[in-house]
Structure 1
């Protein structure tokens, strides 16, 4: 349990620093977009780039390569986190999972319904207020330090994982382009090959990643949003290692003994020692869990490069508030969905589930803390912006919605912080 808590703490620290970078990237994007460099900023992201593989060519502008390509790696990491939590983490048992699952479901349904209530004639943007930005939310908790109950962090992480899964489903089923069914056969065959690697207990990551690239190409060609390839690949990455811990300890101890036995006076390693080191390296590679290894490798790339780059390329909005008045109902749907819908959904669903004994509130969590998490869940930001780009084509609408997301995330985050501080004082 202590080991699992330390892993969560490392995750929280990385995510919190990522949240700070996201904030800085967002501020930088807004400043540059509204400066004398604004025209160059927007031209940069519209620069066309193409990749040709055989007779197949994929051509997109730079922003789409970030949103469809690099974000596929982000979704790969998200998928790995979801699978890990389902198998060994906070969602690995019904008792552990029921409360955050109910919270996440409420936090998705109510915001979507609020958005639809404002935009019944054009409800396609309903997915925008459903999302939670885990990096920003955990960043706020980290800045509050010891004022935050550790169990509240665990609850927020588990809730956000389920929330991410919901976002994946929405992106895959709602926000797709024109479907080209002829590519689904290639998708199915490629994905089958990936699962055959899993079944044959292949733990080397390279074959999975190479087939994952092919899967991305075919899914993109089929018209489904290509980031889904990352999630599908994640679910097929094995979690079991080829060598268990006891066998690793036994083999490593034998290799260390051989290394020690052949120590001599020559200041370079002899072939016995080199062979022993190679055996240790071999066993080191085989004892690692492929899923955890890949998640660890992707986390820094995602947190410190992909997400800040996504924020810098997508958050640049001309501060033209007339766009908000022209699209007021859409903006209000997003604003009220995040600021009001999220806390009502998270708190309301968990309260009812607890009363009906469908899910049980953890004893070390107070209802005031759950209300605070409800508001922190209203920090949509990254995922909300991502879905905005998929839901709308009109740039005026996109810019207006982005401003609404910024404002809503600020209000929700501020209320969440005040509630946490108030809860801390009453302890």
Structure 2
């Protein structure tokens, strides 16, 4: 019997009962807005638990110590520390990957397109930090100047998904690019603003590890396992050096190749050579079947870049495991009116709710007037104002910087309360502005046609 040669014909794969459950889950995990929903749910769970009768047990759970001892060397930290310094290094690794993708092949590779989000992001970092410093100068709370600078992309994407076509496509691109630039700024803040003591011997180990990664790339080593092993050593070096371990994740992300090892044509030719194996011809006669399958699996993976492959593989883990765990461990704050009214909390709220939109709008307006940047045709200043308020949602990165800035329990709690309240106000105001903003004619026509088709 002849097999179909139609390249568009999709083969019938074995169907198992578990696929009925996994397929909807897979669709949910690959919808960007879903991560914001899960993150919000975990934040609510943490807040409810921290303000309930099980508060002591809940907060005590994250303080439970887990350690590893090898000879005279011991790593012994709380669960919360392992999440913030260990798992979040993977989060920052993915940020490094996304930053490199945007610089190499995304919006940030063309200065004319990148000018507006770059300038807007700069204003959205400097003005909130300036407001915070002005309100906290000379007090112990001034160490938190970096808290209101960052934007939480998961929540911003979730808000835009709820608004649907009320958010112009150009504004989506600006906000996503702005969030990437914000992340770059947060990385510098963490590296230079919250590093006090450096243990040079450990830092040298981390830097040697980075050199080994570069050498392995030059030698053509393609093993993810090998890079993972070296990556763990780099993480350890940075962790013990005093420079926050998440910087190691960023460095490895930026070092990841953005181009595929095999050109598309070569990959297609090699896969065509594997046709007989794939279709089962001479299968029984092949004495090296496992080796053959491994070889062609490698070939299929190498037709896309390591950067693209790792983002696809790691994104669900970061969005639906690491970030929710971070929220569960860090958003559990005992709420009180005294903390909301405290000076450091008010400074954070002012930085997020006032500083973010003012900084973004002011710097964007100056850039447009000077001819450095151009406002896209399908968005108005009202749209950009709404986007500026959404950028004031600082949840994940703001809480992360809070944990670095303060050791004092009262300041830590008050700052977290400020982040939660400020992010909530920013989200509500931003969504109201965008929901009531006029939709341009092209979008109205598109929406009308879709409604007619339905």
TM-score, normalised with respect to structure 2: 0.86
Report the equivalent of 2:306.
290
Q: State the Cα distance separating 1:40 from its structure 2 match.
A: 0.6
Distance 1:389 1:259 in 2: 52
Report the equivalent of 2:434.
420
Deviation string, structure 1 residues 199-219 (Cα, Å, up to 9, x no partner): 233332222221111111111
**Which residues in structure 2 correspond to 1:315-330 (within 5 Å)?**
315-325=331-341, 328-330=342-344
Report the equivalent of 2:136.
119
Say which of 152, 161, 168 aligns to 1:133.
Answer: 152
Deviation string, structure 1 residues 167-222 (Cα, Å, up to 9, x no partner): 01100111124221232221221111111122233332222221111111111111
CA contact (8 A) 2:29 2:35 kept: no
Structure 1's 12 and 120: CA in aligned 2 closer, same or farther, altered over 3 A?
Answer: farther
**Long gaps (5+) in structure 1:** 1-9
**Which residues in structure 2 correspond to 1:9-408 (within 5 Å)?**
14-122=31-139, 123-256=142-275, 263=281, 270-271=285-286, 274=289, 277=293, 279-325=295-341, 328-408=342-422
* Secondary structure of 2:130 counterpart: helix
Distance 1:198 1:105 in 2: 34
Report the equivalent of 2:425.
411
Q: State the Cα distance separating 1:259 from its structure 2 match.
A: 5.2
CA contact (8 A) 2:30 2:316 kept: no
Distance 1:366 1:417 in 2: 15
* Secondary structure of 1:57 counterpart: strand
**Long gaps (5+) in structure 2:** 1-26, 442-454
Structure 1's 279 and 182: CA in aligned 2 closer, same or farther, altered over 3 A?
Answer: closer
Could you say what the CA RMSD is over the residues aligned between the two structures, in angstroms? 2.2
Distance 2:28 2:259 in 1: 21
Q: State the Cα distance separating 1:83 from its structure 2 match.
A: 0.7
CA contact (8 A) 1:178 1:223 kept: yes
Structure 1's 128 and 12: CA in aligned 2 closer, same or farther, altered over 3 A?
Answer: farther
Structure 1's 251 and 128: CA in aligned 2 closer, same or farther, altered over 3 A?
Answer: same
Structure 1's 243 and 30: CA in aligned 2 closer, same or farther, altered over 3 A?
Answer: same
Distance 1:270 1:116 in 2: 74
Distance 1:119 1:89 in 2: 38
Structure 1's 233 and 255: CA in aligned 2 closer, same or farther, altered over 3 A?
Answer: same
CA contact (8 A) 1:204 1:290 kept: no
Q: State the Cα distance separating 1:150 from its structure 2 match.
A: 2.0
Distance 1:289 1:11 in 2: 25
Q: State the Cα distance separating 1:155 from its structure 2 match.
A: 1.4
* Secondary structure of 1:271 counterpart: coil
Q: State the Cα distance separating 1:128 from its structure 2 match.
A: 0.5
Distance 2:167 2:402 in 1: 32
Structure 1's 131 and 11: CA in aligned 2 closer, same or farther, altered over 3 A?
Answer: farther
Aligned length: 412
